Chains A and B, each alone.
Chain A
Amino acid sequence: MRILREGEREEALCPTCETWRPTVYRYRTVRLEESGLDVEGVLVGVCDACGETVSLPPQSTPRLREARAPKEHVLEARIPRHLDDVVFVISEKLGAPTAALRGAIVRYYLDEVRRKATTARRVERLARSELAGGACDTRISVRVDRSAWDDVWAVARDAGVRSQSDLIRGALVAAKEDLLDERAKARRRDLERLAAAI
């Protein structure tokens, strides 16, 4: 795909002038009439003669799609404070900033859940473990890809996970076992690579 820049010129069949006209690419706000949604900063072809928006290149589609249906799902959970301590200890061990690593760990385990029913069942079991229990007095929030989240939640629900909070609590206990109790060398290597990239 050729990426167009603002100011580049082409031709388009202008529906207002009803003929082919030279066009120039400009970033404009596009109104999606059905929803009344105004999407800012969309590259469009503009008719030289009448100034109407006459064309859209494929590179503008992701911006329109994201405006219509946000790609992110914000996963929020209440967890006991000692599970957040687990994240701090792991961060120290891996030498990565806690705030960024927290999301990376959760996303890593969600992907594991999505790909392996055994991990989903493990997370469900760990969400009921003693370490996952206690007063849930702190909140964490992680942004995840919406379509991936739909798949994760379908697998997790099939495994018996009852809530988003259970899923995150189970994932953090799994991280504690894998990294601090050194139960899973492959996962530890994966997480070390993740941490190095933060």
Chain B
Amino acid sequence: MHDDHRTSLRVARRRLIEALRAGEYRHEAREALAEKNMLAVGRVTPEEVVRLLRRCRGEQHGTSPHHADRELVVHEFKPYASGRKWYVKAYFRGSTAWFISVHPGEE
């Protein structure tokens, strides 16, 4: 793993945790909101998302451009917790974090 990648994970995780703690975040409206963004509907708490982010190791983090704005970097965290892989997808715009997904995988 490159140092850049490790730094990217550390920085993104720290910013996301800060945003969760400060309540400085928004959710993208999306289909299947209750299933795909469990944070938005209160099925998981911000504290639980912080714990998930902390479990995330380097190889469980990746980035990709947002489909509607290629300049936006979407961070995808895929930590394991309670025997399941979780997906946390979010990006930043200024000091605000935007959540796209927070849900466990099928496996």
Contact = CB atoms under 8 A, between A and B. Distances in A.
B39 A61 contact: yes
Nearest to A31: B33
Contacts of B1: none
B41 to A, nearest CB: 4
B34 A62 contact: no
Interface string A28-69: 001011110000000011000000111111111110111010
B23 interface: yes
B10 to A, nearest CB: 24
Contact of B32 (A20, A34, A57): A34
A54 B34 contact: no
A170 B67 CA distance: 61
B33 A54 contact: no
Interface residues of A, number: 33
B26 interface: yes
A52 B29 contact: yes
Interface in B59-74: 66, 68-69, 72
Nearest to A23: B26
B98 to A, nearest CB: 7
A55 B29 contact: yes
Contacts of A32: 33-34, 41
B35 A34 contact: yes
Given A1-B22, A1-B23, A56-B29, A68 B34 contact: yes
8 contacts: A2-B23, A33-B32, A52-B29, A56-B26, A56-B27, A56-B40, A60-B40, A61-B40
A18 interface: yes
A54 B28 contact: yes
A53 to B, nearest CB: 5
A45 B30 CA distance: 12
Given A35-B34, A56-B29, A61-B40, 4 more contacts: A1-B24, A12-B26, A55-B27, A56-B26
B36 to A, nearest CB: 9
A139 to B, nearest CB: 32
Contacts of A10: 26
Nearest to B21: A1
